[in-house]
């Protein structure tokens, strides 16, 4: 019996073998869809210098995007797939990239400023929806424990006209409710061109909001 994580890792490796080192090889619909989601996450980052842990980093494309947009914080990427990490090392030697299962081997609490996961909650495959949601929330809680300032993740939204049977579609209001159990400082973004929404769970109030509240 394969676990959810083992199924997802095998699926991602097969996609990579079929499509190669591109956005589609990481199961994105297109490079534009990947970029659109990266843009949303960048806008939700707590600062341009925050240290980042990228969970399910694939080929470390998110770090490419961050550097192209002036980000100067440190980057660490983890993925379940030895194949993808090997390929990521080949294209980005010197980056801190590791094969790591966050649920099986928890890292030290509050090790990174910001912990993100982009596209990792899409491939449900044949896992029952309730089981997949339980796994996804365990991941989100593990990510939040690792963060000093907050965690960001995205999901396909239920507000679509068609749902592919092997993918997971999250109800934004339900995930907002779940996330409120971790922190009251939340940010939901549902205005991108893609069919994804993004959620930020922060440890303290947004600095711009605090300045406005103080009359500055």
Domain ranges of the chain: 4-213
Cα gap 155→192, rounded to integer Å: 12
Q: What is the pTM of this model?
A: 0.92
Distances in Å between the alpha carbon of 215 and those of 1, 19, 116, 212? 58, 52, 32, 5
Look at residue 106 in the predicted model and tell me its pLDDT.
Answer: 87
Helix (H) or strand (E) holding 137: helix 129-146
**CATH tag for 4-213 (out of 3.40.50.2300, 3.40.50.150, 3.40.1380.10, 3.40.50.300):** 3.40.50.150
Per-residue pLDDT of the chain (216 residues; tens, 9 = 90+): 468 888 888 999 999 999 998 999 999 989 999 999 999 999 999 999 999 999 999 999 999 999 999 999 999 999 999 999 999 999 999 999 999 999 999 899 999 999 999 999 999 999 999 999 999 999 999 999 999 999 999 999 999 999 999 999 999 999 999 999 999 999 999 998 889 999 999 999 976 544 434 544
Give the pLDDT score at 2. Answer: 63
- What is the structure's pLDDT at 194? 85
């Amino acid at each position: 019996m394969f676990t959810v994580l083992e199924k997802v890792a095998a699926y991602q490796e097969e996609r990579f073998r079929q499509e190669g080192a591109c956005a589609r090889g990481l199961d994105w619909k297109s490079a534009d869809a990947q970029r659109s989601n990266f843009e949303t996450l960048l806008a939700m980052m707590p600062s341009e210098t925050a240290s980042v842990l990228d969970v399910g980093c694939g080929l470390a494309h998110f770090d490419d995007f961050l550097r192209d947009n002036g980000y100067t914080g440190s980057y660490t990427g983890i993925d379940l797939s030895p194949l993808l990490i090997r390929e990521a090392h080949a294209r980005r030697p010197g980056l801190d990239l590791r094969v790591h299962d966050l649920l099986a081997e928890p890292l030290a609490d509050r090790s990174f400023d910001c912990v993100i996961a982009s596209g990792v909650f899409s491939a449900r495959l044949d896992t029952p929806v309730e089981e997949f949601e339980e796994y996804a929330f365990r991941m989100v809680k593990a990510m939040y424990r690792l963060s000093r300032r907050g965690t960001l993740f995205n999901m396909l939204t239920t507000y679509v006209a068609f749902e592919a049977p092997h993918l997971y579609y999250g109800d934004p209001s339900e995930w907002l409710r779940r996330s409120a159990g971790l922190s009251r400082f939340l940010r939901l973004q549902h205005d991108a061109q893609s069919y994804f929404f993004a959620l930020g769970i922060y440890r303290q109030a947004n600095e711009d909001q605090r300045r406005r509240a103080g009359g500055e």
